[in-house]
């Protein structure tokens, strides 16, 4: 595929010819800082004060998702302390999701844990930087074993039935994986909408969403639809569950609130900042980022139509690029934690999870669960 063909394909459903340079120009404002290169450094401090529901007693267990090290993020420091009886880090689960596990022998005891992370992030922009200019899709794609698992269905993400039917309608006769991804991404970002009445990040129950005909939800719902549709046409895809860390700079030119915010000193309360993103895999290249859910969030936040030039600029950027004022934890869907929880399998692991004598605590309600996440950016 020639560079000019790829760039033409990237403009589907887009007015990006006039607005994409704005994204590029916005980085030039910070040309003398690390942020111009997309490199940022955050301290994330998580505090937990577990409160057992009235009448509950017995052993308390807490599982906290931790960031993994990737090309776009590195954990430079990790410390934890608290009143726990035992606490340790493990990744002994199907997805290798890194986990801090802590236990308390009695729910009547004081149950606290403080976790401090220093995280350095790097904007992940393979499409914007032209890395795919000379990409050629192999005639017969082959996937490593650790990638092929992201073609398989899960409980909440089937790849047959209405999911397969919808995917086939979207891609039509197109067989080139990158173009299929563009078609599916644009269909999801244009046809789905953010519903702020949905609890947390949503359940990501793809078949139920498509069957309902009401294509609304939050980030897990919307990006799960993208991932399942991609798998249904034979392209590996996955979500990454994580949390926003602070102010968006590049994307902040289009919305001050939709993509993450902080005060003028770089401090932010990110307790409710959980956000799921998506990736897809091109044979012969590797993983590429995407986030159609944030396009729908920007539309709702700014009260704009999908055809608005600013929305189209965001839409174009988020196919193949992520601004990293966010940190990712893991790719887990419908899997067992380690040690295995009483309530299993877990839909996803973007929030802390706790059980009191085998009964889960509502992690969608931080005031009930009693946890708080604070982020500060080094400037």
Token pair in block for residue 167: 């995917």
Span 118-146, mean pLDDT?
Answer: 96
Under the banding of pLDDT at 50, 70 and 90, the label for residue 243 is: very high
Q: What pLDDT does residue 25 have? A: 35
Under the banding of pLDDT at 50, 70 and 90, the label for residue 223 is: very high
3-state secondary structure the chain: CCHHHHHHHCCCCCCHHHHHHHHHHHHHCCCCCHHHHCEEEEEEEEEEEECCCCCCCCCEEEEEECCCCECCEEEEEEEEEECCCEEEEECCCCCCCCEEEEEECCCCCCEEEEEEEEEEEECECCCCCCCCCCCCCCCCCCCCHHHHHHHCCCCCCCCCHHHHHHHHHHHCCCCCHHHHHHHHHHHHHHHCEECCCCCCCCCCCHHHHHHHCCCEECHHHHHHHHHHHHHHCCCCEEEEEEEECCCCCCHHHCCCCCCCCCCCCCEEECCCCEEEEEEEEECCCEEEEECHHHHHHHHHHHCCCCCCHHHHHHHHHCECCECCCEEEEECCEEECCCCCCCCCCEEECCCCEEEECCEECCCCCHHHHCEEEEEEECC
Q: What pLDDT does residue 365 have? A: 81
Span 307-335, mean pLDDT?
Answer: 98
Q: What pLDDT does residue 364 have? A: 85
Span 126-138, mean pLDDT?
Answer: 95
Q: What are phi and psi of 338, to 5 degrees?
A: -130, 130
Q: What pLDDT does residue 363 have? A: 85
Under the banding of pLDDT at 50, 70 and 90, the label for residue 225 is: very high
Q: In this model, does residue 275 exceed pLDDT 80?
A: yes
Residue 326 contacts residue 275 (beta carbons within 8 Å):
yes
As beta bridge partners, residue 46 has 115, 373
Each residue of 204-222: pLDDT tens digit? 999 999 999 999 999 999 9
As beta bridge partners, residue 99 has 65, 90
Span 276-284, mean pLDDT?
Answer: 97
Q: In this model, does residue 191 exceed pLDDT 80?
A: yes
Q: In this model, does residue 111 exceed pLDDT 60?
A: yes
Under the banding of pLDDT at 50, 70 and 90, the label for residue 19 is: very low
Q: What pLDDT does residue 57 have? A: 84
Backbone angle region of 260, left / alpha / beta, with phi > 0 → left and psi within -120 to 50 → alpha: left
Q: In this model, does residue 296 exceed pLDDT 60?
A: yes
Q: In this model, does residue 360 exceed pLDDT 80?
A: yes
Q: What pLDDT does residue 23 have? A: 53
Burial class (CB in 10 A: 0-12, 13-18, 19+), 309: middle
Span 307-320, mean pLDDT?
Answer: 98
Span 72-89, mean pLDDT?
Answer: 98
Span 49-54, mean pLDDT?
Answer: 84
Q: In this model, does residue 171 exceed pLDDT 90?
A: yes
Instruction: Please provide the average confidence, as pLDDT, over all residues in the chain.
Output: 90
Under the banding of pLDDT at 50, 70 and 90, the label for residue 28 is: very low
Q: In this model, does residue 34 exceed pLDDT 90?
A: no
Q: In this model, does residue 338 exceed pLDDT 90?
A: yes
pTM: 0.90
Between the ranges 1-10, 12-21, 58-67, where is the mean pLDDT highest?
A: 58-67
Under the banding of pLDDT at 50, 70 and 90, the label for residue 36 is: low
Q: In this model, does residue 299 exceed pLDDT 70?
A: yes
Q: What are phi and psi of 341, to 5 degrees?
A: -80, 160
Q: In this model, does residue 4 exceed pLDDT 70?
A: no
> Higher-confidence residue: 365 or 243?
243
CB neighbourhood size of 255 (10 A): 22
Q: What pLDDT does residue 52 have? A: 81
């Amino acid at each position: 595929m020639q560079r000019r063909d790829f760039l033409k394909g990237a403009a589907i459903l887009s007015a990006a010819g006039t607005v994409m340079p704005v994204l590029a120009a916005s980085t030039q404002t910070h040309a003398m800082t690390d942020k111009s290169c997309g490199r940022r450094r955050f301290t994330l401090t998580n505090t937990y004060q577990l409160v057992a529901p009235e009448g509950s007693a017995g052993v308390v267990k807490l599982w906290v998702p931790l960031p993994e090290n990737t090309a776009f993020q590195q954990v430079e420091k990790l410390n934890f302390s608290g009143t726990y009886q035992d606490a340790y880090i493990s990744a002994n689960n199907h997805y290798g999701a890194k986990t801090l596990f802590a236990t308390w022998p009695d729910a009547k005891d004081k149950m606290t844990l403080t976790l401090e992370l220093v995280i350095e992030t790097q904007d992940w922009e393979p499409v914007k930087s032209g890395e795919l200019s000379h990409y050629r899709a192999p005639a017969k794609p082959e996937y490593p074993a650790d990638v092929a698992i992201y073609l398989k269905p899960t409980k909440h993400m089937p790849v047959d039935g209405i999911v397969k039917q919808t995917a086939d309608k979207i891609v039509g006769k197109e067989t080139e994986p990158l173009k299929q991804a563009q078609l599916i991404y644009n269909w999801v970002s244009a046809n789905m909408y953010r519903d702020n009445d949905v609890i947390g990040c949503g359940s990501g129950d793809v078949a139920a969403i498509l069957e309902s005909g009401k294509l609304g939800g939050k980030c897990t719902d919307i990006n799960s639809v993208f991932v399942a549709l991609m798998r249904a046409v034979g392209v590996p895809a996955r979500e990454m569950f994580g949390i926003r860390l602070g102010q968006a700079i590049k994307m902040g030119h289009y919305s001050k609130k939709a993509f993450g915010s902080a005060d003028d000193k770089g401090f932010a309360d990110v307790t409710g900042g959980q956000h799921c993103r998506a990736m897809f895999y091109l044979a012969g290249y590797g993983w590429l980022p995407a986030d159609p859910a944030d396009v729908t969030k920007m539309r709702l936040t700014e009260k704009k139509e999908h055809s608005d030039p600013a929305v189209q600029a965001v839409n174009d950027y988020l196919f193949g690029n992520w601004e990293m004022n966010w940190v990712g934890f893991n790719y887990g869907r419908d899997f067992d934690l380690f040690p295995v929880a009483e309530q299993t399998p877990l839909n996803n692991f973007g929030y802390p999870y706790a059980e009191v004598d085998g009964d889960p605590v509502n992690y969608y309600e931080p005031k009930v669960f009693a946890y708080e996440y604070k982020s500060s950016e080094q400037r």
